[in-house]
Structure 1
Amino acid sequence: MENLQSIEQFEELKNGEHTIFVFSADWCVDCRVIDPILPTIEENYADYHFVKIDRDKFIDLCVELDIYGIPSFLAYAKGNEVGRFVSKDRKTQQEIEAFIDSLKA
C-alpha cells in the first residue's frame, strides 16, 4: 500500500476514480491488527487505489477531515467524498469489506 507523502499528493489522489485513504499510526494497536488483512482487501478490491495516511505526520489533514479515531477509512471518487468508516474501534475484514461494498450501492 502506498504511503501519502504530501498534502498536494492527497489533493491529487482524491480526484482519482476510486481512492480509499486508510488513516493509521505506528503506535495504534488496532491499526497493527488490520495490517495483515489489508493486502487481501487491496487484492479483492483492485478497482480501488488504497493509500495509507500516517495520522501523526498529517494531523492537520485529519482535523480538517474530522478523522479523530483510527484506524479509519475515507473514500473519494473524482474529488468527492463518497463514504467514510471513521471510528476509534477495531475493524474486522468483514466490516471493512462491507464498507467498500456499500460504496458501490
Structure 2
Amino acid sequence: MKKLENVEQYKEIIQDKVVLLFSADWCPDCRFIEPFLPEIEETYNEFTFYYVNRDQFIDLCIELDVFGIPSFIAYAEGNELGRFVSKDRKTQDEIEQFLNGL
C-alpha cells in the first residue's frame, strides 16, 4: 500500500482509480484489518490503495468528513465513487462488500 505524502498528491491521485484508507498508528481497529489488507489489494487490483495518516492529514479528514477510523473512500476521475466511513471496526467481509458495491 502506498502512503499519501501531501495534499497535492491527493489532488492528483483521485484522478485515477484509488481507495484511500484513513488510519493511524495508535488505532487498534486499524491494526485489526492489517493482516488481510494485502489480500484485498490483490483482489481489487483495479484500484491503487493509499494509506492516509489521519494525524498527519487532519485538515483533509475534516474536509472529507472522515471523523472515524479506519475508513475508506474510493475515487475515479476525480469523483467519489463511495465511502465506508465510521469509527467501527471493519471486517474483511464488510470491506469487500463495500468494494464490490463500487
User: How well do the aligned residues superpose, as a CA RMSD in angstroms?
Assistant: 0.4
Matched, 1:27 2:26: yes
> Could you tell me how far apart the structure 2 residues matched to 1:3 and 1:11 are?
14
Aligned structure 1 segments of 4 or more residues deviating by more than 4 angstroms:
none
Cα distance in structure 2, aligned partners of 1:36 and 1:24: 14
Aligned to 2:2: 2
TM-score by length of 1: 0.96
Letter paired with 1:11: K
**CA distance in 1: counterparts of 2:35 and 2:4, whole angstroms:** 19
Q: Which SS does the other structure have where 1:82 is aligned?
A: strand
Partner-residue secondary structure (3-state), 2:88:
coil
Task: Give the secondary structure class of the aligned counterpart of 2:69.
Answer: coil
Give the Å deviation of 1:7: 0.2
Aligned to 1:92: 91
Q: Which runs of 5+ in 1 are unaligned?
A: none
Segments of structure 2 that go 5 or more residues without pairing to the other structure are none
Normalising by structure 2, report the TM-score.
0.99
Report how far residue 37 of structure 1 moved.
Answer: 0.7
Summarize the alignment of residues 1-105 of structure 1 with structure 2, pairs less than 5 Å apart. Answer: 1-16=1-16, 18-103=17-102
The number of residue pairs the alignment matches comes to 102
